[in-house]
Structure 1
Amino acid sequence: MTVAMAEVTPGMHHTTAWDDPATRQAWRRTVLFRCAAVLGWLLGFPAWLFSVVMTPRWLLVLWLPLLCVGIWYALISMVAATSLPGIRRVLRVYPWQADIVDVRSKKNGGTQFVLPDPERPEKSVRLGYGALIGTGRHFWVRAVRSGQVTTAWFAGDPRYVGVVAAPGLRNLLWVAQPEAADARMSPRRRGVSPEARARARSAGARVG
């Protein structure tokens, strides 16, 4: 069932998304969930070690692959947790916007968010998520692939960084253009006003 856009109206009447109490509550829920996920995976390692010690050695052919999987998912959980300050920083700068995001499923299994360029609305800007192994069960991959979600709230500048949320302030996700987050790449300067660049810098993006 596709999420109805009628749910999104109340949170739009604020100068920044962070001014909305519901947004702050959604961010706290996100913090609790992601920290619990990291803790859960970390607690799995003592359980794994106990299982290795208490079972015959030949079962290592089973336990070693499980260890590799556990390490990978623990790393994914840690990366998700490290994005929490970035989410808050974006929400403190930009307001929520609705009816501007086209959410699509990509051929590589990820999700693509398509938005208009803030200064040239006739052009579109794309942000992606979920191309890594192990992200296939994440909400923004699973729900988009099934058609459950086809649109999203957005706060940010799609040319740099932003936060997407399912209508109703669910499943906050930090997204960014590679050059806005990777110090090895040249940040975008062309086609962006000084005011927009300053705002993106305040939100934590690399703008040059």
Structure 2
Amino acid sequence: MDVPLTKTAYEDPATRRAWRRTAAFRLSAFVLSLGSFVAWLYAVLLTPVWTLWVLFPALFVLIYLAMLNTARVLGIRSLRRILRVYPWQSVPGAASIAKNGTTRFSFADPERPDKTVSLGYGSFLGSGYTFWVRRVRSGEVGEVWFAGDPRFLGVVAVPGPRRLFGVAQRTAVDDRMSARKRGVSAEARERAKAAGARVG
């Protein structure tokens, strides 16, 4: 499938639909994770006391899932911001599995095409069950679409686009680290800043 020939990814109607589906899915997961606490409380109140040894560990799992879904909901606007700055590009063979079991995406440096820049995904607890780790591990992902600058941040998708998610270098999102300055033109820094990245 060919990437849309638009100035930015978000100008493509299929991309806007994919973003809305992603937003709806993440919001639904967030609401369900909140509702699970109500279900847990009912279970505590309506079951014998001896079941607490099962229910209390389940509470910690629910708290973790709620935190994960909260982070995903907060990232919805970030995805759209990136898609409004960068166009899609097709990158065959970009996805691979790193030694630690996470998914690694390798893209050409926009200003030095002979060099590659890697972005990681799947370092959180339970990520081995996610689409991007399972499918890359099984070799089912041959081509990905990427919108962004791999030196800062971007959005990765299955061609179509489908399965949108954000990736970023820590230096582009973590205030505790120094923002990248070397090897980046002023124009590239401005675009990355417009997409929400920290730039030097």
Where on the TM-score scale, by shorter chain, does this alignment land: which range? over 0.9
**TM-score with structure 1 setting the length:** 0.93
2:145–2:158 Cα contact (<8 Å) kept: yes
1:101–1:154 Cα contact (<8 Å) kept: no
2:92–2:142 Cα contact (<8 Å) kept: no
Q: Deviations over 1:135-167 (max 9, x none)?
A: 222211121112121321000000001000011
Amino acid at match of 2:9: A
**Hey, what's the Cα distance between the residues in 2 that align with 1:163 and 1:183?**
21
Residue 122 (structure 1) aligned to one of 114, 117, 121? 114
CA apart distance, 1:26: 0.4
Q: Which moved more, 1:140-149 or 1:190-199?
A: 140-149
Partner SS, residue 163 of structure 1: strand
Paired residues for 1:142-181 under 5 Å: 142-181=134-173
The 3 A distance-change label for structure 1 pair 138 and 159 is same
**TM-score with structure 2 setting the length:** 0.97
Query: 1:65 aligned to 2:57?
Result: yes
Query: 1:99 aligned to 2:91?
Result: yes
CA apart distance, 1:101: 5.6
Please identify which structure carries the higher strand content.
Answer: 2
Q: What stretches of structure 1 move > 3 A for 4+ residues in a row?
A: none
CA apart distance, 1:107: 2.7
**Hey, what's the Cα distance between the residues in 1 that align with 2:99 and 2:43?**
39
Identity in percent: 52
**Hey, what's the Cα distance between the residues in 1 that align with 2:95 and 2:153?**
16
> What residue ranges of structure 1 are gaps of 5+ in the alignment?
1-6
**Hey, what's the Cα distance between the residues in 2 that align with 1:70 and 1:99?**
37
Paired residues for 1:1-208 under 5 Å: 7=1, 9=2, 11-99=3-91, 102-208=94-200
CA apart distance, 1:70: 1.0
The 3 A distance-change label for structure 1 pair 186 and 89 is same
CA apart distance, 1:112: 0.6
Amino acid at match of 1:191: G
> What residue ranges of structure 2 are gaps of 5+ in the alignment?
none
**Hey, what's the Cα distance between the residues in 2 that align with 1:81 and 1:135?**
17
CA apart distance, 1:71: 0.9
Q: Deviations over 1:16-62 (max 9, x none)?
A: 00110110010000000000001111101110010111111111110
Partner SS, residue 167 of structure 2: strand
RMSD: 1.1
CA apart distance, 1:100: 5.4
**Hey, what's the Cα distance between the residues in 1 that align with 2:98 and 2:26?**
25
1:154–1:165 Cα contact (<8 Å) kept: yes
1:101–1:153 Cα contact (<8 Å) kept: no
